[in-house]
Structure formats: structure tokens, C-alpha cells
Amino acid sequence: MSLLVDAALSIDGVDTISKALKLMIQRQERVFQYTFRRSEVFNYNRTKGIPCISPPIPWMHGKDIYESIKRVKFEGLTGNLAFDERGYRKDYRLDVLTVSLNNGPEKIGEWDSNTGLKSVYDEEEDSGDTWNYTRTDYERTVVSIISPPFLYRNNKTDNGRPPTGNDRYEGYCKDLADALARELGLSYRMVIVKDNKYGVELENKSWNGIIGELRRGRADLAVAPLTITAERERVVDFSKPFMNVGISIMIRKPEKQKPGVFSFMEPFTINIWACITIAYVLVSVSIYMASRFSPYEWSTEDLTSGHIYHNQFTLPNAFWFSMGALMLQGSDHVCPRSTAGRIIGGAWWFFVLITISSYTANLAAFLTIERMLTPIDSADALAKQTDIAYGTVEDGSTKSFFKKSKVTTYKNMWNYMSTASPPVFTKSIQEGVERVRNTKGKYAFLLESSNNDFYNNRKPCNTMRVGPNLDLKGFGIATPLNSHLKEAINYVVLKLKEDGTLHKLQQTWWFEKGECGTNPGHRESKKRSLSLSNVSGIFYILISGLVLAIIIGLIEIYYGKRHPPKLVHYSYSRRWQNSRPNLGVTSREHHNGLFVEAMIK
């Protein structure tokens, strides 16, 4: 329960007077006996009450009460209660707070009645080169954090000599700090944040990490992958973002999908193949029916004994015509002559043209590009599943994003991460990446996209980024509030962005120095090379067709020997005539698809 300062002081004041009066009564039990009589107050037995007259008559017990108060000593609501010989309070402490328009209150020190002011800025640090903040008028202190590729420790030696000064570090932020120093015309000293944290607000309203160092005046600016957030903007100033990033998902690369025997059928789904088959049957039957009833598909020949009527579109020939068109091979001289048949054939050819073109375009991609099936592809999929654990860095803006998010998906993810057992948070980005690599696909790491892209290009090259970014934010250069460097740094950042320096730095440290790249020409030629497993299905179909043809051929030979065909001899009259067949036929003979009609007189 909170209590106002005025109320606490009032309570301690009343308690002090009460204890002082008790001390007087303990020394002399009847000290007030002649003062309070018949519910009246008397002063020196001469006046009733304490009249305000001139000259005033002091109360007879005033001096004794004053001396008794100076002997009171106890622990009250406002701290230690004790008084010196002059009646002033002693042996107490006050918290010193800072308050401004945009932030506070924040404790920055203590004031003791005996030792005076003790500021948090005066705390002595551990000895060492890292935290020697002695500055000259021309040297600035730049604080950063070890986080590849933004900053590495440079372990290279020059003729056996280890690097010194700012040369102890290398990386994107080191190059950016050098560019800032050149443009601003100043020298700097780069130091590493001691607790290896970016900065979050603690329960006592103070800050740790890089933000804390800027707040306590231990650094002039921070050049690091420091995310610009509203919470941090209250306590430090940020420049324009030098890099735009977002929270992304890192998972272990799944095993590459092995090509199936019938991988050549994958460009179309089963539903499309079924529709193509149905269309093939319907078109074949339609052409057959149109040819049966159209007079233009019939041909007649004069014989010495009558007329012969024949139609080339028997049911097997109709299926053969449709198959030839589907395979882009044609079907010899079998071609519709009727208007209805030609309309059906033209529509079928157009259908085949689009279908084959689409199939060919997709077939190249399915046979030449290796595909991987990822278990998740978005934050929604990650939140809904239970097989893969996921987490973030323990202290940083990514954790704060999920903790304060109002989006249902992200709230559910935070509820899981904050209660998961074993814990899913990591102390550093490197620890999170190693956890992804070593858990065989059972852990996903949520981190900034810049770090995600970097570690995906580092050996053993078994991690990957999935899904879109969860948010959009930027990294900025931080300075203490109201720093005179803020506007100059903004100008330099915009200049470096416009002249391409920032883009070049990113390409250098993320991709050119990557460890997972290969020769582009070699990679493309490798994709064009097909293995037997990619096309083995077409060989199975060819072998199956040959075997089926041999079996059917043997059956025809066996049937032909058991039932030899009857040969029919005709005498043609050399006259050809196309006319409608006489539907008043009394007898017909079928032979090889020809209708032979004998005219009965």
C-alpha cells in the first residue's frame, strides 16, 4: 500500500510528540497534574489556557517538551527519527531522483545527513582497459557489444603483435564508427558493454546494458545493433535508422526431399490428371458419335454386287485421334471432315496446347530444383504447433516485443515462452543459434532478421529463415538525451545511406564474407543435371508398355490360330461416290470397320 510523503511525515510527527510526552511522564508521573484541571488547561496557575497577548506568556511545559523531543529516537515511516542539540533531525538519508518531461523519476544517488551526496555516477568500476573512461576534449567514448557480424574481436596479429586500441575489434559497427569519426572530424575510443546486454528497464526504474551506460554518462554514443523502441526513446536519443530489420524465425534446415519414381507427374495435381483423363474420354466419345451421325464422315464405293459404305472414325480410331493430339504426334490420315467433328477437334487441340505448355513449364522446375518441406512457414503455424519449442534472447527488444504485444498470436507465443519448461530463453544470440543447430529441428529461435541472415551464411550451414518478418523496426545510433552530437550524427547517417556506404558494408559483412556460398555458374549447371531417380518413372512406363504389347500380341496370335478370319473378296467398279447410306438396308457385313451392304431387289 502506498502512502503520501506528507501523511508519513505527519504520522511520524505525532508519534514523536507522543513518545516525548511519555518520557516526561516516566520521569515525573504528576507533571501535568496542575495543568489539566476540570477539563481546562492552566498556565502557571495564573491564566486559563495560553492567551495570545503581548508580550506572550510561554507555556510552562514548552521547554521540557522541547528537551524531551531531542531525546526521542526510533524508526519511523520516513526512516530513522533522531534530533541533535539544536533540534534538527539527524542520521537520516534521502533518495536523489531525476525527473524530466519524458522520463523519470529515476534514482541517481543518495543524500546522507552525515556524509552528504553520494551519486551513482561516482561508483568506482573494476580496474581494466575496458572501462577506462578517461576522455580528452577530442576523444569520444563509443560503447558497443560483441555480436557478429556487427562486431568481432580481432584476433589477427601483426608480426606477432596483438592489435591494440580500436584495432582490437572489427565488423560492421567498427566500420560504421570509423565512417562517423571521419565525417564528424573526431577521434573515439571503442569499449564493450560489461554485462553484454542491450538494455532493458529494471524494477527500480534504472537501465542495464548499453542504455544504462549512456544514462550514467559512461559513453558519448552507442554504435551497436540497438533497436529503436518507444521505451528506449524516452531515456536516450536515437539517430535515423542505419539498418531496417524485423523479428524473424530461424529453424534448422529440413532434409532435402528425395525425388519420387513418378516425380514427372508432380507438375499437376491428382485432380488435374483426373480431369485430363475424363476430358480425353469425353472428346473421343464425342468425335465418335458426331462421326456416326454426320453424312460427311461416310464414304461409298460401287461394287459389282452393290455399294460399300465405310467410316474412318470407329471407336478405337476416335481414341487414337485424341491420343495423337494429346501427345502432339497426330494420327495418320484420321481427321474429322464434318463441321461438328472439326469443332470438337479444334477445341481439343487448343486444350492440349495450353495443357502441354503449362506442364512443360512446371516440369523443368520440379525436376531441376531441389525442394525442402519446412515444418513451419509463419508465426501462426509456430504458435499453433506443440512439437517445436521456440524462444528469444533473455534481455532485449525481441523479448519486450512479445511481452507487450496486443496481437493474439504473439500474446499466445509469450504465454508459452514465459511458462515453458525447460526455459526457452537464451543468454545470447550465439547460444540461441547453437540450440537451433543441435536440437534436430525441435527448437526455433526468434531474432532480428539481420542476425538471422548472417548465421544462415555460416558453417555448418544447417539453419534457415522461414516466413515473413513479424514486425518492422530499425537499428539506430544512440546518444544521451539532449546530446549535441545527435543532429550531426543524423546528417552523417543519411549521407552514408544515400551514397551507398551502408549498403556496401552490409553486403561485405553478410554475404561476401559468408561461408556457405558456392560458384554461381557451378550451382546453375548442377541444377540442370538430372539424375536417374528424377526420370525413372518414364522408363517404368515404357517397359510396362512394351510388356503389355507383347502379351496382347501373343494373345492375338493364339486367338488367330484358333479362330482364323474369313476373307471376303469384292469386285470394285472403280467409281467413288460420297452419299448418305441407305437406311433401308436389309443385311450388312462388317469387315475391318467397313460396312458392306448387299442390295436386295
115 carries a ligand binding annotation? no
Here the CATH number for the domain that contains residue 54 is 3.40.50.2300
Give just the sign of the alpha carbon dihedral 515, 472, 238, 243.
positive
In a shared domain, residues 393 and 296: no
Residue 37 host element (H or E): strand 36-37
544 carries a ligand binding annotation? no
300 carries a ligand binding annotation? no
pLDDT digits (tens, 9 = 90+) for 6-17: 888 899 899 999
Look at residue 498 and tell me if it is in a domain. no
For 395, other C-beta atoms within 10 Å of its C-beta total 19
Look at residue 216 and tell me if it is in a domain. no
E runs forming strands in 99-246: 106-112, 116-119, 139-144, 152-153, 169-170, 187-192, 221-222, 236-238, 243-245
Look at residue 100 and tell me if it is in a domain. yes
Give CA separation, 420 vs 423, 431, 434, 578, in Å: 6, 18, 19, 87
User: Residue 324: phi, psi to the nearest 5?
Assistant: -60, -40
Of the three residues 456, 471, 486, the one that is the final residue of a domain is: 471
E runs forming strands in 232-323: 236-238, 243-245, 247-252, 298-303, 306-311
Q: What is the pLDDT of residue 133?
A: 36
Closest to 305 measured CA to CA, from 569, 565, 567: 569
Residue 140, all three cell numbers: 569520444
227 carries a ligand binding annotation? yes
Of the three residues 418, 437, 471, the one that is the final residue of a domain is: 471
In a shared domain, residues 70 and 100: no
Q: What is the pLDDT of residue 337?
A: 76
448 carries a ligand binding annotation? yes
In a shared domain, residues 10 and 57: yes
515, exposed or middle or buried, with CB in 10 Å at 0-12, 13-18, 19+? exposed
Here the CATH number for the domain that contains residue 328 is 1.10.287
Q: What is the pLDDT of residue 257?
A: 63
CA distance 392 to 56: 75
Look at residue 256 and tell me if it is in a domain. no
Q: What is the pLDDT of residue 340?
A: 80
In a shared domain, residues 424 and 458: yes
In a shared domain, residues 270 and 357: yes
In a shared domain, residues 408 and 348: no
CA 289 vs. chain centroid, Å, equals: 60
Residue 574 host element (H or E): strand 572-577
575, exposed or middle or buried, with CB in 10 Å at 0-12, 13-18, 19+? exposed
Q: Are 516 and 456 in contact (CB under 8 A)?
A: yes
Question: How long, in residues, is the chain?
Answer: 601
In a shared domain, residues 19 and 111: no
Look at residue 586 and tell me if it is in a domain. yes
In a shared domain, residues 275 and 325: yes
Here the CATH number for the domain that contains residue 386 is 3.40.190.10
The number of folded domains in the chain is: 4
The helix/strand/coil state of 579 is: coil
Look at residue 200 and tell me if it is in a domain. no
86 half-sphere exposure, CB direction, 13 A CA radius: 3
397 carries a ligand binding annotation? yes
555, exposed or middle or buried, with CB in 10 Å at 0-12, 13-18, 19+? exposed
Closest to 298 measured CA to CA, from 519, 579, 31, 590: 579
Look at residue 252 and tell me if it is in a domain. no
Angle at 60 between CA 56 and CA 62, to 5 degrees: 85
> Residue holding cell 555448418?
460
Of the three residues 38, 73, 89, the one that is the final residue of a domain is: 89
Grouped pLDDT means (10 residues each) for the chain, 601 residues:
82 90 85 75 72 73 85 87 86 80 72 79 43 52 91 79 85 94 91 90 88 90 92 92 92 76 77 88 85 75 64 80 82 74 83 86 69 80 91 86 91 92 90 91 91 89 90 92 89 93 91 70 45 66 76 79 62 40 38 38 31
Single-letter amino acid code for the residue at 281: V
In a shared domain, residues 379 and 433: yes
Look at residue 349 and tell me if it is in a domain. yes
In a shared domain, residues 347 and 378: no
In a shared domain, residues 302 and 271: yes
Range of the structural domain that residue 99 is part of: 92-124
CA distance 189 to 165: 7
In a shared domain, residues 74 and 98: no
